[in-house]
Structures are given as structure tokens and as C-alpha cells.
Amino acid sequence: MIDITMPALSPTMETGTLSKWLVKVGDVVKSGDLLAEIETDKATMEVESIDEGIVAALLVAEGTEAVPVGQVIARLAGEGEAVEAGPSSSPLPPAGGVGGGHAASAAAASPVEDRTHPQPLPQAGGEPAFAPIPGNRIVASPLARRIAGQQGVDLAGIAGSGPNGRIVRADVEAAAGRAPAPVAAAPAPAAAPALVAASPPPTPPAAAKSESFGPPFSDIPHTQEKLGNVRKVIARRLTEAKQTVPHFYLTSDVRIDALLKLRGELNKALEPRKIKLSVNDMVIKALALALRQVPAANVSFQGDTLVRYDRADISVAVAAPSGLITPIIVGADAKPMSVIATEMQSLAAKAREGKLQPAEYQGGTASVSNLGMYGIKQFDAVINPPQGMILAVGAGEKRPFVVDDALAIVTVMTVTGSFDHRAIDGSDGAELMAAFKALIEAPLGLVA
């Protein structure tokens, strides 16, 4: 037998959630075939097989949390090894319990899975009437599957528009707009939606009231949604950041009329290459150059060590369905804005589909969080340790402004830098903000 273990999908990963099996007992697996979807602390990733064989046992139930890296989760039968039919070949743990998952056995699959992997009909002697058909599985992104489950869309009736017919988010949303799929008469426990109506919680003991996070008024109609790994990590890390990192904030109003004019000219020149710069792309470049001009701000605090970086890798906050994630533009100080724009578009799309690889979101020397597209004028962002700073970018808007001792109407963008005072002094933070403002207001420096 060949043991399949929980893989380490990032250098810091210690446990993972087995979100979904993509194979069943009896399936023939070749090297490169997808086995399962694993949820890490940052993304949901599909795991490929590196061996060949027949799936002999699935040892961990779908939805099981905190599965240690290295734990055996499945077994493949090699050439000449027998695979027993029946429940004994798939000893999945029962439903319920913390970290116990919600699938009772390999047979407890969703209606979509049952159609794509028909169960063999028993004959005399317990042998199946036919073997499961490998390769007839629906291929869909984790995000597409999640949305389909929430909206009751049958993936079996959707033609995927992604690579190799892969079903993506847009396909599910288009199908949901046409007509929702009928709901199965008796769904198995594994097909239960993630968001369910909650009954009034019991009144906690007086000693435990301070730790209760239940709804303040139990008679208000409400739902409860179990936190995924990504949201749990966001909650833990941001709490730690605000509790342990001494933030200080510096805010500046920046005129962006010249930047907008240059952006229009550059986009016209880039039209034949089908590249379109956003203001955010130019902000990324400006922050990266400013960090290189003010190296005292391109640092991070790590215990009794101050790390000084010789490159500006900019993490960019992207809102994904599972929570906030920060893909990285590596070496943004040395890249043309056209390259930054292309990379950012690709990384944002992968982030929203939960397809970022660890190397694409781990690291970074500073961050950008831009809420200007929502009309937010100004806000203070929370530092993402061990980084030393994050730049919060507001909306560009027409405002009365004094220019050359005269009142004028100009386009102004308010930016606020959050700095870790353990690593960056106030004067160094102010120098960085001044360098950033100068690059935005005289934007030819971004292309020089």
C-alpha cells in the first residue's frame, strides 16, 4: 500500500483542513491527478498525486479540521494489491465533534458527487456491478463549488469556461441567474450548506459570560457560519498585531491630477498590448520607490533583530470570499508599471478563486490597502507583522486646495501610513510619506 499524507503546503503550515475529496475508493489514480482540496491558513489548494494506484481507503473525513502535516489521509493500492469493496475500505470517522468533520463515510457525498461518481451496485458475493469511472469527475474551482453549494446550483449541468473545461465562479453565477437547480429530496450530511439557521444559544454560566461570543439578543432572527481557517488566522493575527505592535499613524493629502494625466497617456500607449494601468498600480510603484529612497522604513522588527531589506516587495490587500489576503508584487521598485499591472490582475484573480501559491502571498516588506474604490476618504490600516508599515489609500476627490498661495479645485487623495514604532522612528516614517507624496505629485519619477 502507498500512504498519502497531509502535505505541507507552506513553510509555516502545521495543520490543514481536508475540505473535499476529489476521488472515491476504487478510483484509478495516476501521477498528476487531483486527490483532494486542502484548506490552509491562507487559501484552498488542490493536491495532486505523485504516485499511481487504486484508491484503497480514505482515512480522513471531508471537513476534518486541524489534520497534522504528515498524517496519513488515504492509501493507494499498488499493482497486484487487492482492494476490498465495501465500507471497510473507507474507514472515515463519524460526523460531529470538534475537528471530526461532517462526512460519515465515502458514501455520504453530495448529490453532485453522486452523479459524477455513480456508486457500484452490489451483486452476489459483494462484488460491484461496475467499477467507478475515473476521469468523469466535474472539474471546478473551490470558489465555484462553494458558490454552487450556497446557491443550489447543480455543477453537473454547467459547461466550464476555464482551462480544460474547468468551472469557474462566472459560470456558476451565470447558471444561478438562469434558474437554480432543484434541491435533492434527502441530502446527505456532507451536502448540508455551510450557513444554517441557528437556534437560540443556551444561556452561558455567569463565570463564562465574559468569554461568550453568542448573539446579544437570542430572539433576533439570525444565522451562524462556522469560521474557515483563513478567517480564524485573520482574527488571530490582527488581534496580535493591535495588542503587540505599537502603531503610530501619519496622514498626508496628495494631489493626483498630474498622476491621472500621466495614467491616461500611458494607457493610451499601452492599448495595443491590452494593458490598463490603475491608480493602485501606480501607488504600488510609488511606495516601492519611496521605500528604496528611505531604507530606514524598509525594515521589520523581529525580536532582538532589526531586518533591513534591499528590495521592496509590496503586499497588496485583496478581498476574497474566504477573507482578506495579500498577494505580493516582488521587487516592485525595479518593475515597470505595465508589469506590475499585469501581475496584479493575475494575482487578484487567483486570490479571489483561492488559488494563490504560498510563495505568492508569504513575505513582503510593506503593504498597500486601497479602499478608495468604495468612496472611503481616509482610514487607518492594521500592520501585518513582521512588516514594519502599511499604507492606507483613500479615494481621489475634488477639493478646494491652496496651490501657489491661491485657492484652486484639485483632485486630492488622502493616504495614511501605519508604522511599527519598534522598528521605525517618527522622523523616518515622515520622510517616507514625503517621498511617496513627491513621487505621486511629480509622477514622471515613476517611469524614469
3-class SS string, the chain: CEEEECCCCCCCCCEEEEEEECCCCCCEECCCCEEEEEECCCCEEEEECCCCEEEEEECCCCCEEEEECCCEEEEEECCCCCCCCCHHHCCCCCCCCCCCCCCCCCCCCCHHHHHHCCCCCECHHHCECCCCCCCCCCCECHHHHHHHHHHCCCHHHCCCCCHHHCECHHHHHHHHHHCCCCCCCCCCHHHCCCEEECCCCCCCCHHHHHHCCCCCCCCCCCEEECCCHHHHHHHHHHHHHHHHCCEEEEEEEEECHHHHHHHHHHHHHHHHHCCCCCHHHHHHHHHHHHHHHCHHHCEEEECCEEEECCCCCEEECEEECCEEECCEECCHHHCCHHHHHHHHHHHHHHHHCCCCCHHHCCCCCEEEEECHHHCCCCCCCCCCCCECEEEEEEEEEEEEEEECCEEEEEEEEEEEEEEECCCCCHHHHHHHHHHHHHHHHCHHHHCC
Strand 72-77 relative to strand 53-58, pairing: antiparallel
Strand 2-5 relative to strand 15-21, pairing: unpaired
Does the annotation count 117 as an active-site position?
A: no
Which one of 102, 117, 247, 421 is the catalytic residue? 421
Which residues, at least 6 apart from 262, have a Cβ–Cβ distance to it below 8 Å? 443, 444, 446, 447
Catalytic machinery residues: 421
